[in-house]
Amino acid sequence: MGGRVVVTGLGMVTALGHTAQETWEGLVAGRSGTATISLFDPAGFDSQVAGEVKAFDPLKYMDRKEARRTDRFMQFAYAAATEALSQSGYTIDQADGSDVAVIVGTSMGGLMSLSEGFETLKTKGPGRVSAFLVPMMLPDMASGHLSIKLGAKGVNYSLASACASGADSIGEAANIILRGDAQVAIAGGTEAAITPISVAGFAAAKALTTSNDTPGRASRPFDATRNGFVIAEGAGMLVLESEAHAWARGAVILAELAGYGATSDAFHITQPDENGEGAARAMRMALRKAGLEPDDIDYINAHGTSTLLNDRLETVAIKKVFGEYAYALPISSTKSMLGHTLGAAGAIEAVVAILALRSGVIPPTANYGTPDAACDLDYVPNVARSASMEAVMSNSLGFGGHNASLIFRRYEPAS
> Where in the sequence numbering do the catalytic residues fall?
163, 303, 340
How many Å apart are CA 382 and CA 187, to the nearest integer? 30
Reference 226, options 87, 365, 79, 28; nearest CA is 365
Q: How far apart (Å, rounded) are the C-alpha atoms in residues 235 and 19? A: 10
The sheet carrying 234-242 orders its strands as 156-159, 100-105, 184-191, 234-242, 5-13, 255-264, 402-409, 391-398, 299-301, 331-332
Q: How far apart are the first and last CA of the chain?
A: 20
The 8-class DSSP code of residue 364 comes to P
Q: Given 3-state DSSP classes, what are the helix, strand and coil percentages for the chain, each rounded to the nearest 5?
A: 40, 20, 40
- Least Cα distance to 334 among 245, 202, 220 occurs for 220
Q: What's the per-residue H, E or C state across 1-20?
A: CCCCEEEEEEEEEECCECCH
User: Distance of alpha carbon 287 from its chain centroid, rounded?
Assistant: 20
Beta strands in 155-292 (DSSP E): 156-159, 184-191, 231-232, 234-242, 255-264
d(CA 135, CA 109): 10
> DSSP labels for 226-246?
---BPEE-EEEEEEEEEHHHH
